[in-house]
Amino acid sequence: MAVDGPLAPIAITLGEPAGIGPEITLKAWHRRVFHDLPLFYLIGDPGLLRGVAKKMSSPPPIKEIAEPAEAADVFDTALPILPIALAGRVKPGRPNTRHATAVMAAIEQAVSHARAGAAAAVVTNPIQKSVLHKAGFKHPGHTEYLAELCAAKRSPVMLLSCPGLKAVPVTIHLPLQEAVAALTTDLIVERALTTAAALERDFGLSPPRLAVAGLNPHAGEDGELGSAERDIILPAVRRIAAEGIDVAGPLPADSMFHAEARRAYDAAICMYHDQALIPIKTIAFEFGINVTLGLPIVRTSPDHGTALDLAGRNEADPASLISAIGYAGLIARRRRRFG
Amino acid sequence: MSKPRIILLPGDRNGIGPEILGKLLADPACHQWADIEVMADPGVLAAGGVPAAATAGYRLLPFSPEAEAPIEPGQATAAAGRECLAALSRAAQRLRDGEADGLVFAPLNKQALHLGGLAQADEMRFLAHELGHDGACGELNVLAELWTTRVTSHIPLADVAGRITPGSVGQTIRFAHDSLVAAGRPAPRIAVAALNPHAGDGGNFGREEIEVIEPAVRRAVDDGIAAEGPFPSDTVFVRARDGAFDCVVTMFHDQGQIAMKLLGFGQGVTVLGGLPLPITTCGHGTAYDIVGTGQATDGALRNALRICAAMAGNNQNGSAR
């Protein structure tokens, strides 16, 4: 593949049709020039998108395409849509299990386009997990589903990124009690090495610098407030350092995220979901994105949910999706150039 | 109504406490809120540049239990710790005797307190003991208009879920409510954080929200408290910052502390709630690394005085005693 030719278009999935995904995708296309966004197309239902567009003051035009390669000719004048028909009408804010098949099909198609090189990356709109679970979806979330579709050998890693902070939760969608129990030295090391490789390969941060959070208050305070730091995390930090990676930790989680502390590292390795999400959302509520590391394809997504309460009101902010599309393009370009 | 009588302590003599106390007392505005009594070693005050009592308009209560000890900027020393404990003890005695209505202390150093012989877990437990208070007490953090407190605090994360019970969550909501009311905030809106990711995602990622937290919130509402939740902990502070709530009740230490420190808790105030009299301090510590450089600011100490005075004034108004 030519290294300097145009990038293949980016595939965007429909996500939950009753959520804000269709609306923010239209808004992202509307602002494509302003944000200098790479070429993208949506895999979704054209009728639904037309209905959502009608509520906007200047409805973005929509044009159906038959394959990803056609997106390039359409993108300047309309949002290219590769059609997947929904099983009926969509009520904004009211997810319905009968749409689950189409929601999953959009994800499967996007992955297959990316694996075949027809799409440069996959950007996923938020899904309503509880609805998909009722329809037989067995995965805790997008990330795990994508790993299966890609037949990934290593378990994928969720990297959250906002201006000023990148954070990787070692455990993700587990009850807090189980997350604590699931924490092992091996798991921390594996996540950290995947993260370090991605910082270098996808973000050009070389050599990468990591900071590992403690699990307990005050990072355990020398064992007074818990032993996980001594028994699990510190040995992991030593093994990561032994791989030649610049790493610090375990650090007290409440003092490692302020602006000055963040200057000392490129990514924070966090021990549980909210330890990573709280700083990301607090620092930059609108701009957080999710990048899946360790997959053979490039995948990003906005870090917010379906926002069912906002659906159908034309009030949703596309900032996070726009940022996710932009990063997908940057990472895809770097991978093409540097492998 | 007379102004409340508030005792101010300079805190650890080797930290920034004396300097920021000096900056605060140099501003005449602070005397609008309270009649201030400074209890301290005059040598420590002079070294910190604290203006003289006669010119600055406060009452000095000389207190020099460690008169021979040197001032060692940036060092945690046993003498400084002993001095702080003696001052807290004496201040508690004055509160008990009805000679003062509230207490504000500049930052203490935990290591120095332990070197100085602190037998309790922290200064709050020490003060509770000195005040003869054996009921519940807890720390609240206040940043501008936003308050927060937590169901569990300095315990391993593995022990947190086991301590999240209808009783502990309910008590903390009630404690938050009562503390804000005492500070002059009637009908405070209290957001209760969830324990698990995505607030448990309808039971997929944990059941404490369904089985424990939500019922506790409902019961608080039945008791007339404006409580809501459980909310996902990654966005509850963002909503509170934007004005949706007056107080956030979190389930564990870092859930609140990560967000509060990012929101600027360096200027915040810690309220020792549940004690019979109002006691507040700075959210920040002794900042040993910048002692004497002139960089330390008195914003947090000023807010601590303002909140303590409001709580003491409220006690007087309510004529609870």
Cβ contact, residue pair A278, B157, below 8 Å: no
Cβ contact, residue pair B207, A225, below 8 Å: no
Instruction: Find out whether B270 and B282 touch, Cβ atoms under 8 Å.
Output: yes
Residues B262 and B274 in one domain: no
Cα A125 to Cα A14: distance, rounded to the nearest angstrom: 6
Cβ contact, residue pair B235, A129, below 8 Å: no
Distance (Å) from the C-alpha of residue B237 to the closest C-alpha of chain A?
A: 7
Residues B17 and B123 in one domain: yes
pLDDT at B1 over 70: no
DSSP A263-285: TT-SEEEESSHHHHHHHHHHH-T
Alpha helices in chain B (DSSP H): 17-25, 42-47, 53-56, 78-96, 110-115, 123-130, 160-163, 166-182, 208, 214-222, 236-241, 253-262, 299-318
The pLDDT value recorded for residue A142 is: 87
Cα A228 to Cα A271: distance, rounded to the nearest angstrom: 10
Sheet containing A299-302: which strands, arranged edge to edge?
Answer: A62-64, A79-83, A40-44, A10-13, A121-123, A299-302, A289-293, A157-162, A165-169, A267-270, A209-213, A246-251
In chain B, the residue whose alpha carbon lies closest to the alpha carbon of A276 is B234
Mean pLDDT estimate for chain B: 94
Inform me whether the C-beta atom of residue A273 falls under 8 Å from chain B C-beta atoms.
Answer: yes
Cα B118 to Cα B111: distance, rounded to the nearest angstrom: 10
Cβ contact, residue pair B257, A254, below 8 Å: yes
Task: Choose the mutation target among A133, A170, A254, A304 for the interface with B, i.e. most B CBs under 10 Å.
Answer: A254
**Which CATH code fits A158-292?**
3.40.718.10
Q: How many residues does chain A have?
A: 339
Cα B23 to Cα B39: distance, rounded to the nearest angstrom: 16
* Domains contained in chain B, number: 2
Cβ contact, residue pair A176, B257, below 8 Å: no
Cβ contact, residue pair A278, B153, below 8 Å: no
Cα A103 to Cα A127: distance, rounded to the nearest angstrom: 8
User: For residue B196, which residues of chain A lie inside 8 Å, CB to CB?
Assistant: 175-176
Final residue in a domain of this structure, among B248, B266, B284: B266
Contacts of A293 (CB under 8 A, 6+ apart): A156, A157, A158, A159, A168, A194, A195, A197, A198, A202
The pLDDT value recorded for residue A133 is: 87
Cβ contact, residue pair A280, B258, below 8 Å: no
Comparing CB atoms, the residue among A133, A215, A255 nearest residue B157 is A215
Distance (Å) from the C-alpha of residue B146 to the closest C-alpha of chain A?
A: 14
Please choose, from the candidates A163, A180, A161, A170, the residue with its C-alpha nearest in 3D space to the C-alpha of residue A269: A170
| CATH classification of the domain holding B118 | 3.40.718.10
Residues B293 and B217 in one domain: no
Residues B124 and B216 in one domain: no
Residues B282 and B133 in one domain: yes
Instruction: Find out whether A277 and A162 touch, Cβ atoms under 8 Å.
Output: no
Tell me the per-residue pLDDT of A301-327, one tens digit each, with 9 for 90 and over.
999 889 999 999 999 999 999 999 999
Parent domain of B72: 1-137+268-321
User: For residue A218, which residues of chain B lie inside 8 Å, CB to CB?
Assistant: 154
3 state DSSP class of A134: helix
Please choose, from the candidates A197, A215, A217, A216, the residue with its C-alpha nearest in 3D space to the C-alpha of residue A207: A197
Tell me the per-residue pLDDT of B185-229, one tens digit each, with 9 for 90 and over.
999 999 999 999 999 988 989 999 999 999 999 999 999 999 999
Inform me whether the C-beta atom of residue A94 falls under 8 Å from chain B C-beta atoms.
Answer: no
Comparing CB atoms, the residue among A133, A176, A225 nearest residue B206 is A176
pLDDT at B320 over 60: no
Inform me whether the C-beta atom of residue A231 falls under 8 Å from chain B C-beta atoms.
Answer: no
Please choose, from the candidates B227, B255, B280, B300, the residue with its C-alpha nearest in 3D space to the C-alpha of residue B6: B280
The 10 Å CB-count burial string (b at 16+, else e) for B76-98 is bbbbbbbbbbebbebbbebbeee
Instruction: Find out whether A117 and A8 touch, Cβ atoms under 8 Å.
Output: yes
Is the CA virtual torsion B250, B252, B253, B257 positive or negative? Answer: negative
Comparing CB atoms, the residue among A226, A254, A277 nearest residue B157 is A226
Residues B206 and B276 in one domain: no
Cα A315 to Cα B255: distance, rounded to the nearest angstrom: 29
Structure-block tokens of residue A53: 């567009």
Structure-block tokens of residue A333: 């370009």
pLDDT band (50, 70, 90) for residue B90: very high
Residues B23 and B74 in one domain: yes
Tell me the per-residue pLDDT of B277-317, one tens digit each, with 9 for 90 and over.
999 999 989 999 999 999 999 999 999 999 999 999 887 76
Tell me the per-residue pLDDT of A30-78, one tens digit each, with 9 for 90 and over.
999 999 999 999 999 999 999 999 999 999 999 999 999 999 999 999 9
Cβ contact, residue pair B161, A253, below 8 Å: no
Domain with CATH 3.40.718.10 in chain A: 1-152+295-339, 158-292
Comparing CB atoms, the residue among B153, B155, B234 nearest residue A281 is B234
Q: Is A143 exposed, middle or buried (0-12, 13-18, 19+ CB in 10 A)?
A: buried
**Amino acid of residue A125:** N
Distance (Å) from the C-alpha of residue A150 to the closest C-alpha of chain B?
A: 25
- ipTM, 2 dp: 0.90
Please choose, from the candidates B39, B285, B243, B60, the residue with its C-alpha nearest in 3D space to the C-alpha of residue B146: B243
pLDDT band (50, 70, 90) for residue B321: very low
Cβ contact, residue pair B254, A277, below 8 Å: no
Q: How many Cα neighbours within 13 Å face the side chain of B176?
A: 32
3 state DSSP class of A60: coil
Instruction: Find out whether A299 and A291 touch, Cβ atoms under 8 Å.
Output: yes
Instruction: Find out whether A267 and A118 touch, Cβ atoms under 8 Å.
Output: no
Comparing CB atoms, the residue among A175, A217, A282 nearest residue B254 is A217
Cα B102 to Cα B304: distance, rounded to the nearest angstrom: 11
The pLDDT value recorded for residue A154 is: 80
Residues B129 and B10 in one domain: yes
Instruction: Identify the segments of chain A with pLDDT beneath 50.
Output: 1
3 state DSSP class of B60: strand
Instruction: Find out whether B9 and B40 touch, Cβ atoms under 8 Å.
Output: yes
pLDDT at B78 over 70: yes
Residues B111 and B5 in one domain: yes
Cα B126 to Cα B140: distance, rounded to the nearest angstrom: 17
Cβ contact, residue pair A140, B238, below 8 Å: no
Q: What is the pTM of this model?
A: 0.90
| CATH superfamily entry for domain A1-152+295-339 | Isopropylmalate Dehydrogenase (3.40.718.10)
Cβ contact, residue pair A217, B261, below 8 Å: no
User: For residue B212, which residues of chain A lie inside 8 Å, CB to CB?
Assistant: none
Structure-block tokens of residue B107: 């930052």
User: For residue A277, which residues of chain B lie inside 8 Å, CB to CB?
Assistant: 197, 233-234
Distance (Å) from the C-alpha of residue A129 to the closest C-alpha of chain B?
A: 9
Distance (Å) from the C-alpha of residue B218 to the closest C-alpha of chain A?
A: 22
Distance (Å) from the C-alpha of residue A78 to the closest C-alpha of chain B?
A: 35
3 state DSSP class of A205: coil
Final residue in a domain of this structure, among B266, B291, B308: B266
Cβ contact, residue pair B197, A277, below 8 Å: yes
Residues B254 and B273 in one domain: no
Q: How many CB atoms lie within 10 A of CB B68?
A: 6
Inform me whether the C-beta atom of residue A174 falls under 8 Å from chain B C-beta atoms.
Answer: yes
Cα B163 to Cα A304: distance, rounded to the nearest angstrom: 30
Structure-block tokens of residue A326: 């932009």
Q: What is the mean pLDDT of residues B41-53?
A: 95
